[in-house]
């Protein structure tokens, strides 16, 4: 509870937190089917209508309601972002912790493998993985998860290495605690703060990568609504129906902005070192 109060006492935390909560609420409405219209229903007579009282954000080329599609699309993007960041956090934390704990060969093997993954620009690696396994929601999750795993490995390994040599770890060992107990209870608990910040920022990148993949036609497949795909489809209709571009564009932007602001606030709150020079 204290962390929530701290976030809402922080200016960018308040803005970012509100945006994220609002998106979660909209995503939940979309998931429950509480959209103004059926997002897949084609109202043929109402094709390419500008925003009006019936269709708040207008309709697309097939007469589908843009607002309803955006609501469902937000849920879709957030699902991919949350699951992929969960994959990256779990894999990265496990790899980083064990690399720091066991050291030697395992550490070398893990860190060099992460160097290999880091040698690819994120979107390119995600594209390569999708090329191998095929486009689709679960493959996007796997691809984005793999792409961001090395970042979590690095974030965890560094502090874990220095925590390992601290006295309380020696003390725990003297008391006969098992390696697994020390790893999960002592090391992991001390890494919660940097991990929280990283997770929030990674959610912003994951949203960006997901939108990018689906913009390129490699993410969520039609007719399922996806923000990136909607934006990509709007390109040819830009002059006649600019709302098809403006609303999805702003929706993607604001969601990324929300997580970026929240991540910045969390960094300020949880990491005393950055307080002085926060940007």
**Where along the sequence are the contacts to other proteins (CB under 8 A)?**
12, 112-113, 115-117, 119-124, 127-133, 154, 158, 161, 204, 208, 211-212, 215-218, 228, 231-232, 234-235, 238-239, 242, 245, 249-250, 252-254, 256-257, 260-261, 264, 276-279
- Size (the chain), residues: 279
Give me the least distance between CB of 10 and other proteins, in Å please: 14
Task: Give 53 or 119: the residue with its C-beta nearer to other proteins.
Answer: 119
The span from the CA of 154 to the CA of 18, in Å, is 30
Any idea which residue has 């809402």 for tokens?
A: 8
Give me the least distance between CB of 279 and other proteins, in Å please: 4
Give me the least distance between CB of 114 and other proteins, in Å please: 10
Task: Give 67 or 127: the residue with its C-beta nearer to other proteins.
Answer: 127
Give me the least distance between CB of 32 and other proteins, in Å please: 28
Task: Give 193 or 257: the residue with its C-beta nearer to other proteins.
Answer: 257
Task: Give 146 or 172: the residue with its C-beta nearer to other proteins.
Answer: 146
Task: Give 154 or 186: the residue with its C-beta nearer to other proteins.
Answer: 154
Nearest to 186 by CA among 218, 154, 160, 157: 160
Give me the least distance between CB of 112 and other proteins, in Å please: 6
The span from the CA of 74 to the CA of 80, in Å, is 10
């Amino acid at each position: 509870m204290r962390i929530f109060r701290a976030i809402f006492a922080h200016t960018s935390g308040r803005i970012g937190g509100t945006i994220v909560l609002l998106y979660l609420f909209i995503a939940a409405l979309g998931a429950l089917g509480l959209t103004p219209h059926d997002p897949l229903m084609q109202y043929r007579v109402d094709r390419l209508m500008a925003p009006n009282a019936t269709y708040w954000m207008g309709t697309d080329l097939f007469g589908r309601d843009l607002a309803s599609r955006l609501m469902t699309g937000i849920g879709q993007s957030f699902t991919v972002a949350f699951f992929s960041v969960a994959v990256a956090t779990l894999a990265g934390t496990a790899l980083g912790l064990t690399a720091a704990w066991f050291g030697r060969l395992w550490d070398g093997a893990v860190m060099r493998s992460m160097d290999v993954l880091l040698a690819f620009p994120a979107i390119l690696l995600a594209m390569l993985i999708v090329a191998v396994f095929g486009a689709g929601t679960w493959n996007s999750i796997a691809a984005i998860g793999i792409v961001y795993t090395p970042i979590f490995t690095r974030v965890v390994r560094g502090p874990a290495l220095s925590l390992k040599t601290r006295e309380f770890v020696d003390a725990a060992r003297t008391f006969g605690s098992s390696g697994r107990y020390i790893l999960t209870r002592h090391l992991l608990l001390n890494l919660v703060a940097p991990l929280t910040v990283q997770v929030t920022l990674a959610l912003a990148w994951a949203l960006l990568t997901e939108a990018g993949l689906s913009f390129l036609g490699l993410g969520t497949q039609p007719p399922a609504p996806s923000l990136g795909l909607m934006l990509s489809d709007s390109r040819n209709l830009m002059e006649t129906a600019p709302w098809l571009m403006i609303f999805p564009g702003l929706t993607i932007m604001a969601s990324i902005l929300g997580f970026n602001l929240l991540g910045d606030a969390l960094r300020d709150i949880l990491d005393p070192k950055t307080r002085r020079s926060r940007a």
